[in-house]
Each structure stands twice: as structure tokens, then as C-alpha cells.
Amino acid sequence: MEIVLRGGRILDPQRRIDRIGDLIIRNGVIHELVWEPHAVSPSSQTRVIDVTGKWVVPAWVDMHVHLREPGEEYKETIMTGTAAAVAGGFGAVACMPNTKPVNDCAAVTSFITRRAFEQGHCHVYPVAAISKGLKGEELAEFGELREAGAVAVSDDGRPVMNAALMRRALEYAKAFDLLVITHAEETALSQGGHMHEGVMSTRLGLQGIPAAAEAVMIARDVLLAELTGGRLHVAHVSTEASVWILREAKRRGIPVTCETAPHYFTLTDEFVEGFDTVYKVNPPLRTRRDVEAIKEALADGTIDVIATDHAPHSLLEKDTEFQDAANGMIGLESALPLVLNLIEEGVGDPLDILAKVTWNPSKILGIPFGSLRKGAPAHITIIDPNAEHVIDPETFQSKGRNCPFRGWSVKGRAVMTLVNGLVRYPFP
């Protein structure tokens, strides 16, 4: 089977390539890149796809999603979550362990990988728990989890409050070449909070979560990473202080990487003014100053990755009082135009910004994505950067409708996603 993607703008952040050309896929791998468009003479068996005016990029990788299966299939399943992923331009996702039961043993990890193989629209890489039951008391069996297919460990949704346990996690994970993803939150500071602590929380009468609740824990874990040499990745960075600590850590050569999410460089705590629970997320939406700090960190490379923290909920969890509502918002099908907007704003050039959703997360997770190199698996996203549309969650593949960008007019969308050389979106 041969596919020719003809006449597109080929962008490969790994090798800093940005040229017009044809990309040839043969038997599921990238066979050749031809820099003279239309020079290829296809056979009668070749499928030729005209991508003139489109971007041909490595399939996007989201290293932070919640697929809810097993246990909460009424919110999302591996089938619907991965359908949302390919519709949003993602060819791979890493799913967090706070399922029911928790992914803290080989049996659950194996279930996820098997279900993804049977029903998934894209590759799924499980992130297993650091501690058994996410209780922060006893480490999970990292060796078994690694053997079952886990690519990282995290207690995402809950911080590991015990510093000694976190130290052992970094040491233990290092032995199995596992990444440790930290949910940075000092609960003694955040407990009881519903939004960012500041002027807006005071005006609304809601108990706030100070920015220091995140930064304090990042500082602790950075020091533990320096002590142990274990690979640390900080999830959903949202504050100016966090960025400052991470920038200094990288300057010192500590093995730490980090991510942020589109809502942290797009929204502020002012959106909470109407008490709409769609804006309730953990960590909370921050101030305009924090948003600008996140953009600066994206620009200077302090923040390596953009992930969505896709967290679908049903009306049961969201259609309630703000104080009682669940944290989280969906993001797989709204992320692409928000990420491309960073290019429009001048935060970075296309290759720099695309690296944060392709090569960088692939490299950090150690998975075979993020490259258009000859011989690489043909995981490819085709983007129409000029497609103007209005975000409508009612058309999403995800079961979740808790999208804060409903009704936003945006530009740019995925028009095709290929995984292993097969067109997985648009759906057959």
C-alpha cells in the first residue's frame, strides 16, 4: 500500500525541516521525502492525496489524558477518547492511572493496552501509579508495570505528600527507566480551595488556592530529582513561580522536564466570575501575569511540552454548585487551534511550537513518534492552518462536553490523521 501526500508544507521539528514537498508512505512507514513537488510518478495502486496549502507534520502526541476506562465508562472510554484524539490531530496519548480500579498493577495496565489494541483509534501508552491505590503510602511494583507496558508513573490528581516516598519513587523508577510525572500540589496550602487565590476569589467569596501550593511542591521534587538523578516531569505547570523554579533547575542541569496545557496560556481566573463549573480545574486558572509567564516559558524552552490534561466529566459531576463540582475540562478536540494561535501571537515559530506536541513528548516518553525521518512509522497529521471554525463540543467524539472554549471562533484544524500509514481520521 502506497500513499503520496502531494505538495504540502512539510514541517519536521526534530530535524528543523520546513519545506514544500511530497511525502511518500509505503507499507506503513515513511518511504521518501521529495523536495520537488509533483515529481513523483505514482502507480495505479497509489493513493494520491493533494495537500497543497496544508501542513504535513508528525502526528501529535498528548502525554496527559484521562480515558476513564476502566471504571467510569459513562464519562469516556478508550474507544471514544482515542476517537477524540485522532479528530484533534493526535496519533498517540498517554493515559493517567486514576481509573477504577487504579492502574497500579500489571493486570490493569495490560487491560488498557489490550483494549487500546482492540478498540483504539490511535496508540495508547499507559501511565501507571506511583503508589498503590494512589494513597501515597506504598510504592507500586514498577518492574511489573514496566513489563506490562507502562511508560511512566504518576499519582496524577494527587500529590505524593511523603517526600521520602517520592525519593524512593525517583530511585526505583530510574532502575526501570521510567519517567516520574509529578502532580505538584502542597495540600496543606490548597486544601479547601476551589479556584486561584487572589482578587477574584475574594470578590466571589470562594476559598482560593495560592500559587505557592504548586511552586512549593515543584521545588521539593526538583531537589529530589537532583539528589537521585531520577527523571522528573512536572505536569500542568500554571504559575509564574513554578516557571522560575523550573528555569533555574534546568540551568543547573537537573533532569527535569515539564508541560503546560492550553487553558493555562489562554484563560485566566476572571473566567470564573460567572461561577460556570466548566472553568473549575486543578491546578486552577491563574492570573494574567501567570499566563504571560507561561508564554515566556514556552518561548524560551523552559516548558518542553503542551499536553491537554483531557478530563471528561458528565453532567452529574459538573452541573452543580461550583464548590461541589469536579475539577477538569476536556481538551483533545480543541487544543490544535489554541496551540497554533501561539504561532500567530509570535510566542514561537512553527517548528518550535510544533516540537512541544510532537518530538518533545515523544522523546520524553521514549516512544516512536515525533519524526518524519525516512524509515520512521508513518504517524502523520495534516493541518489546514487557515480553516476558520467555531468550536462546538456537541460535534466532538469525546463523551465529555465540559469544554471551556464552546462558541469560540478559531483558526486551524486537523483534516487528516494517519497512524502507521493508515488514515484514522477522517473516519472511514
The set of catalytic residues is: 309
- Asked if 83 contacts 37 with a C-beta cutoff of 8 angstroms, the reply is no
In a 3-state reduction of DSSP, which class is residue 405?
Answer: coil
Q: How far apart are CA 58 and CA 52, in angstroms?
A: 17
Q: How many residues are there in the chain?
A: 428
In a 3-state reduction of DSSP, which class is residue 99?
Answer: coil
Return all residues near 273 (Cβ < 8 A) that are at least 6 apart.
200, 203, 204
> Which residue has cell 508512505?
25
Amino acid occupying residue 96:
M
Residue 175 CB neighbour total at 10 angstroms = 11
Taking each helix axis from N to C terminus, what angle separates 240-251 and 212-228, rounded to the nearest 10 degrees?
20
Q: How far apart are CA 23 and CA 21, in angstroms?
A: 7
Helices (H), 63-159: 78-87, 106-119, 142-148
Q: How far apart are CA 215 and CA 230, in angstroms?
A: 19
